[in-house]
Amino acid sequence: MNDYHNPMHRDISRVLISQYQIGARVREMAQQITDDWQRDGDDDITIIPILTGAMIFCGDLIRHMPVQLKIGLLAVSSYPGASLRTQGSQIVSQQVGDIHGRHVLLLDDILDSGGTLKLVVPALQELGAEKVRTCVMLRKNRPEAKAVQVDYVGFDIPDEFVVGYGLDYNNYYRNLPDIVTLTGEAIERHK
């Protein structure tokens, strides 16, 4: 579809990371994760995308990981409605399956305040996971994010509010293939 006819196009202020850069980086990350897993002799893992934001990232990543894996789901709410800063994370539902004694790869779209990972990693350990590795597509350049231990990072980005590739504003824009910032007008309109 021609972007000119895409009504979301006019809401984009700046493209931070293009779909082509994302695609290349996702393949690199999948390779690195697969290599690390095989090196450690882990041959059956559970991948858990944190919903809803990590859904698209997960779909792309696992198709470049030729290993035996299961998928578990976990939904966390941190940006209720039209907020631009996290309001504190909460696990709202989980279907991770039996992860007792299993090796888990936890995926999130973005590491911002770190509240989500600090909540979810211990929760998975509580459920008996033997090893939990963490992977985020984006990490914001702020001290709170840098202070959180994370195993794989796709891109470090400035401390700005971004949408696309799974990330939303008030649950919109997740389907944009690029990672972008929004115009002030779009932010006002979806409040």
Q: Which active-site residues does the annotation give?
A: 112
Position 48 contacts ligand IMP (CB under 6 A): no
Contact 148, 89 (CB under 8 A): no
Give the residue, chosen from 58, 135, 167, 180, that forms a contact with ligand IMP under the rule CB under 6 A.
Answer: 167
Pick between residue 37 and residue 135 the one whose CB is nearest to ligand IMP.
135
Binding mask 6-45 for Mg ion (x = CB under 5 A): ----------------------------------------
Residue 79 binds what, of ligand IMP, Mg ion, none (CB under 5 to 8 Å, by partner type)?
A: ligand IMP
Position 11 contacts ligand IMP (CB under 6 A): no
Q: Tell me how far apart the alpha carbons of residues 62 and 65 are, in angstroms, rounded to a whole number.
A: 5
Handedness of CA 37, 42, 43, 45 (dihedral sign): negative
Q: Tell me how far apart the alpha carbons of residues 41 and 141 are, in angstroms, rounded to a whole number.
A: 34
Pick between residue 24 and residue 84 the one whose CB is nearest to ligand IMP.
84
Q: Tell me how far apart the alpha carbons of residues 65 and 68 are, in angstroms, rounded to a whole number.
A: 9
Q: CA 9 → CA 14, 82, 177, distances in Å?
A: 10, 19, 11
Position 108 contacts ligand IMP (CB under 6 A): yes
Contact 102, 43 (CB under 8 A): no
Applying CB under 6 A, which residues contact ligand IMP?
A: 50, 53, 78-79, 86, 89, 108-116, 161-163, 167-168
